[in-house]
Structure 1
Amino acid sequence: MSASGGTKAIIAALVANLSIAVAKFVAAFFTGSSSMLAEGIHSVADSGNQLLLLIGGKRAQRGRTKEHPFGYGRERYFYAFVVAVVLFTIGAVFSIYEGFHKLSSDEGLESPVWAFAVLIFAIIAEAFSFRTAIKESNAVRGSQSWVAFVRRAKSPELPVILLEDLGALLGLIFALFGVTMAVVTGNPVWDAIGTLMIGVLLAVIAIILAIETKSLLLGEGAAPEMERQILAALEGSEEVERVIHMRTLHLGPEELLVAAKIAVAHNDSAAEVARGIDEAEQRVREAVPIARVIYLEPDLDRTPTTTSG
């Protein structure tokens, strides 16, 4: 994922959520709708999440230090994980609490036209934000399905924004359902049901985000296709007979560590081995530009040979 594409999607979502949050709180004040209040808190949580993603992207750009010799690229994973925690604790827990509280209340909705007007405005704004996230994601996901893109993306920002925007749109639909049923039936319980549906939705999205960002935090290797490119580049070097074994690790979305033990010829001199390693590193960087940290250990090929006859 390009950093500019992720930033563009984050800013679009931030602008949409800030404007929507204000409108939702105004509607909640005039209508007394718990669904609208829950959606207002949802938008505030989303806005905070976008700020966290921007902070993570900025901090990840810091250079290497003695304490962090591989840099700070994985800060983007940390802040994406914090987003999942915030979405669950603030968005989901509050909405579920407010929904159960509203179930025991007999207060009906007042001035429902406020709720309908704000929900329509919010759906349009969220659709614009979601469209931006889809457009930026399509530029990098290739032929992957959307599920595969969310699960395999090494850059966390676009998957996070995609799921947040999807959750926001579904949440608005749930709120519209709750408010509409409460107005049609005159029963405020429907508003509470809509609030509970929003809370459960946010909890599910938060859990999905937590699982995926946890995997990135723990450390993921290169995608299979990228590993095949690295192997081909190494074994295509004249001084490398074969790759004995190899490990890869993402130090950040755009920085990959490659460590490999390579077999060299028995009669190669130290100078020839050193030259071969330099050439192999150059080939890897040309094939996979994000392979910025490469460690190659030369060894002799001790694979047993078989003789016929």
Structure 2
Amino acid sequence: MPETTPATPAPRTADEDLPVGVAGASALPAPAEPGHPGAAGEEQGSESVGTVIVAGLANLAIAAAKLVAGLLSGSAAMLSEAAHSLADTVTEVFLFVALRRGTKEPDEEHPFGYGKESFVWAFIAAVFTFVGGAGFSIYHGVTTIMSGEHSGNFLVSYIVLAVSFVAEGVSFLKAQRQVTGESRRWNVSRRRFLRATSDTTVKAVYFEDSAALIGLILAAAGIALSQLTGSELWDGLASIAIGLLLLVVATVLARANVSLLVGRAVPRRIHNQIADDLAGIPVVTAVPTLLTMQLGPGVILVAAKVDFHDDVSGGEIEAASDEAERRLRARYPAIRYVFLDPTRGRAGHNHRDGGVDI
């Protein structure tokens, strides 16, 4: 009887080693290359947390001081500023929650992660600023003009306003340093960066601190004019002006967050660069459709219909797709997901000039 040898197990194919489900959709590791937007994502996230914490602590201390000064002086502008700082403090809490919740890892229930939850909490923060800060300030200003009551203790108001201006200035300078650093990394102006960024926390802190400094100037002007003229009209008008200022800030932030929640595309400059990078793959003939979406702060999804040369094999298409993802991630590490759909197209017919025109 012939001797038999045990059968050797068949070698595992490459496909059997590949992860499936959400794990299989995970993006390539982000390249740690300085100078590329998003390459220091964790550092930027830590910096945003620090900016929010500094702003929150400053606003809490300032709100208490303004409330005491407002109660002692009876100034509508001071009480409005107290409401302003209290609203900003609660806003920072919402923004801190947004930063923490938005960084949760993807799972089967939320395969693209929880980044959009950051936009939800930032939107709630903007609504609170609208209701808690603007509503109270405008209402209290109107009632002050109608009643004309003021206890007349002006000195304490001036002292609190001066201290508050210094504290708010420190918070604003931190936010401005972060905005300046990010805008230089992207090689754009601060104004364009604030319009384009998906980091809603640093945008909110920057605008709120700017509004806080302007509000302090309005409050000081209203109190000074009331002291000089003996009329509470100016104090009430200053309170209304502070409320309108908060209304503008809340509206700007709410609109930005709604746009991101709906699914905003990347800025046009980035869109065109992505289209050029995809079209530059040797076996690609055209990129007739290119779609992008901000999935969260610093997280981008790219989906494109790509026309490959007719004579390329399936293996070459797979290799080209991997090369496309590496190429895009090397330029913009914020791109977390890339989906390419082979389709018919026309040579040189690429989807350019899409995205957001900023």
Same fold by TM (over 0.5)?
yes
Q: Please name the residue that 1:195 is paired with.
A: 239
Measured against aligned partners, the alpha-carbon deviations of 1:197-232 in whole angstroms (never above 9, x if no partner) come to 111111111111112221111111122222233223
1:253 shift after superposition = 1.8
Q: Distance in 2 between matches of 1:232 and 1:62?
A: 32
1:302 shift after superposition = 5.0
Q: Please name the residue that 2:120 is paired with.
A: 78
Q: Structure 2 matches for 1:61-76, cutoff 5 A?
A: 61-76=103-118
**TM-score scaled by structure 2?**
0.81
2:189 maps to 1:157:
no
1:97 shift after superposition = 0.5
2:44 maps to 1:8:
no
- Maintained 8 Å contact 1:149/1:159: no
Give the % identical residues.
36
TM-aligned CA distance change 1:266 to 1:161, over 3 Å: same
Q: Which 10-residue stretch deviates more, 283-292 or 130-139?
A: 283-292
1:298 shift after superposition = 1.5
For structure 1, the 5+ residue unaligned runs are 305-309
Amino acid at match of 1:262: V
Q: Please name the residue that 1:286 is paired with.
A: 330
The structure 2 residue matched to 1:174, chosen from 205, 218, 229, is 218
- Match of 1:241, SS state, is strand
TM-aligned CA distance change 1:106 to 1:220, over 3 Å: closer
The structure 1 residue matched to 2:315, chosen from 268, 271, 277, is 271
Q: Distance in 1 between matches of 2:60 and 2:238?
A: 22
Q: Distance in 2 between matches of 1:233 and 1:88?
A: 43
Amino acid at match of 1:247: L
Q: Distance in 1 between matches of 2:298 and 2:203?
A: 16
TM-aligned CA distance change 1:46 to 1:296, over 3 Å: same
TM-aligned CA distance change 1:210 to 1:172, over 3 Å: same
Q: Distance in 2 between matches of 1:158 and 1:58?
A: 14
For structure 2, the 5+ residue unaligned runs are 1-37, 39-43, 349-358
Q: Distance in 1 between matches of 2:111 and 2:152?
A: 59
Q: Please name the residue that 1:17 is paired with.
A: 59
**TM-score scaled by structure 1?**
0.93
Q: Distance in 2 between matches of 1:284 and 1:204?
A: 37
TM-aligned CA distance change 1:245 to 1:258, over 3 Å: same
2:281 maps to 1:204:
no
1:4 shift after superposition = 2.2
TM-align CA RMSD: 1.7
Q: Structure 2 matches for 1:20-59, cutoff 5 A?
A: 20-59=62-101
The structure 1 residue matched to 2:279, chosen from 215, 219, 235, is 235
- Maintained 8 Å contact 2:274/2:328: yes
Amino acid at match of 1:289: P
Q: Please name the residue that 1:295 is paired with.
A: 339
- Maintained 8 Å contact 1:103/1:192: yes
Q: Please name the residue that 1:307 is paired with.
A: none
- Maintained 8 Å contact 1:10/1:54: yes
Q: Please name the residue that 1:114 is paired with.
A: 156
2:192 maps to 1:148:
yes
Q: Which 10-residue stretch deviates more, 2-11 or 79-88?
A: 2-11
Q: Distance in 2 between matches of 1:252 and 1:50?
A: 18
- Match of 2:340, SS state, is strand
Q: Structure 2 matches for 1:84-123, cutoff 5 A?
A: 84-123=126-165
- Match of 1:222, SS state, is coil
- Maintained 8 Å contact 1:265/1:300: no
Amino acid at match of 1:14: G
Q: Which 10-residue stretch deviates more, 226-235 or 53-62?
A: 226-235
- Maintained 8 Å contact 2:144/2:233: yes
Could you say which structure has the larger radius of gyration? 2
1:303 shift after superposition = 5.6
1:109 shift after superposition = 3.0
